[in-house]
Amino acid sequence: MMTTATDRRRGRQALDARAARLRPLVGAFVMPNAGWVRAIRDALGMSAEQLASVMGVSATAVLSMEANERSGRAQLATLQRAADALDCDLVYALVPRQSLDDRVREQAIKRVMPALSRLERTMLLEDQSPSEAATHWLQSDAIDSVIDRPGLWDVT
Q: Give tens-digit pLDDT for 47-89.
A: 999 999 999 999 999 999 999 999 999 999 999 999 999 999 9
Full set of structural domains in the chain with CATH: 5-85 (1.10.260), 100-146 (no CATH)
> Which of 77, 88, 73 is CA-nearest to residue 41?
88
Predicted TM-score (pTM) of this structure: 0.76
Is pLDDT at 126 greater than 70 in this prediction? no
Angle at 32 between CA 30 and CA 36, to 5 degrees: 95
d(C-alpha 44, C-alpha 34), whole Å: 14
Write the burial class of residue 59 (CB in 10 Å: 0-12 exposed, 13-18 middle, 19+ buried).
Answer: middle
Higher pLDDT, 6 or 71: 71
Average pLDDT over residues 100-114: 89
d(C-alpha 2, C-alpha 60), whole Å: 47
Contacts 24+ apart (CB under 8 A), 55-64: 55/81, 55/82, 55/85, 62/37
Q: Could you count the other beta carbons within 10 Å of the beta carbon of residue 78?
A: 17
pLDDT for 97: 94
Average pLDDT over residues 149-155: 86
pLDDT for 130: 64
Average pLDDT over residues 84-106: 95
Is pLDDT at 3 greater than 70 in this prediction? yes
